Amino acid sequence: MELLSIMSSTSGKLPAEKERELIRKARAYTNPAYGCPPEKRPIREYIEKGVVNIDKPKGPTSHEVAAWVKEILEVNRAGHSGSLDPKVSGLLPTLLGKATKGVPALRLSGKEYVCLLRLHRPVPAKEIRRVCKEFSGPIYQMPPIKSAVKRALRVRTIYYIELLEIEGMYVLFRVGCEAGTYIRKLCHDIGMALGCGGHMQELRRTKAGPFTEETLVTLQDVKDAYVFWQEDGDESELRRVVRPMESALSHLPKILLRDGAVDAVCSGASLAVPGIVSLDSDLKKGELTGLFTLKGEIIALAKAKMSTEEIMGASTGIAATPIRVMLDVGTYPKGWISKEEGKVVADKEMEADPEMNTEG
């Protein structure tokens, strides 16, 4: 049968690919004597606070791949962004060492797959297109019998589904979906809706949160880069295959803190409005957000207590509470915490001497 290509003219986007804009609330400076831009960390610290966007091959489990990365790079911990079945290939972003604290934020981000569906009998292309459109948006799913979660009906969102090719009983499509969507079950349900049955023939993950195939590296790439550094002292390839952990959290709405507020948050204090320099233009109350230094270092994952509009219009109050702290206490000098509500207040003396600081 003649190959029918129906590739979409515009590819869909995951929520993590949303374009974000920072707006300034206050002027501040960051002292170069404290902290470090993520890409300039000493190489051992760079690895311990890094992420590798592994191209998982077919065969091994996701756990095995993460364990191999951990062994190659000689780190104590490694955690991946969400399991892929042994027969599935594609993106497996793996966070290293201290960066593993960011795994939940990455694991809950959207994913994209390219899937080959095999129908159990031929169906007109027009009918396939019609039925696939019905699977966009919220859908009900019952996890398969062989799954790591409790079998209970749940809702998952399909952000987009794009038919790429149809040939006989084979349908190639791209799908962007919420974390926890079972593509094998999606194939089964599409087959049922078409009245012919169907199953997943092949699957590859092509996006995971902010990661795409453009930054993929193989296990061999990781091994070679580490050997180059160990034997020749050449860090360049290792800095290419390992990326700063902040790249795994780039999809989160951001709040940038002044230097004087950083250490208090590292100690678990809530972030008050006076500690904020810039923030995402579309931050929503209750949303998971990333607290960053003016040098771009992730301080903590936090829950927003105010929206952007509320923060911009306030001079006091708690703006966010840390959920998981990722920067070590003492990286920045201590600021002052008021006795009421643990409010973080800027260190005015540090700001007042621009000769000791660089603008952030």
Q: pLDDT of 259-297, one tens digit each?
A: 999 999 999 999 999 999 999 999 999 999 999 999 999
> What is the rounded distance in angstroms from the CA atom of residue 172 to the CA atom of residue 200?
10
> What is the rounded distance in angstroms from the CA atom of residue 140 to the CA atom of residue 28?
48
Is 136 a residue whose pLDDT tops 80? yes
| The two structure tokens encoding residue 250 | 């780039």
Residue 33 carries which side chain, given as an amino acid letter? A
C-alpha distance from residue 122 to each of 1, 114, 118, 190, 275 (Å): 10, 21, 10, 13, 62
Is 350 a residue whose pLDDT tops 90? no
Task: Check: pTM over 0.75? Answer yes or no.
Answer: yes
- Of 251, 238, 184, which Cα lies nearest the Cα of 212? 251
Q: What is the DSSP letter of 222?
A: H
| The two structure tokens encoding residue 152 | 């209970």
> What is the rounded distance in angstroms from the CA atom of residue 252 to the CA atom of residue 190?
32
- Of 236, 234, 238, 217, which Cα lies nearest the Cα of 50? 238
Amino acid 11: pLDDT: 63
Residues with catalytic roles = 85
Is 340 a residue whose pLDDT tops 80? no
Is 152 a residue whose pLDDT tops 90? no
> What is the rounded distance in angstroms from the CA atom of residue 311 to the CA atom of residue 140?
37
Mean pLDDT of 57-70: 97
Q: Do 146 and 129 touch, CB atoms closer than 8 A?
A: no
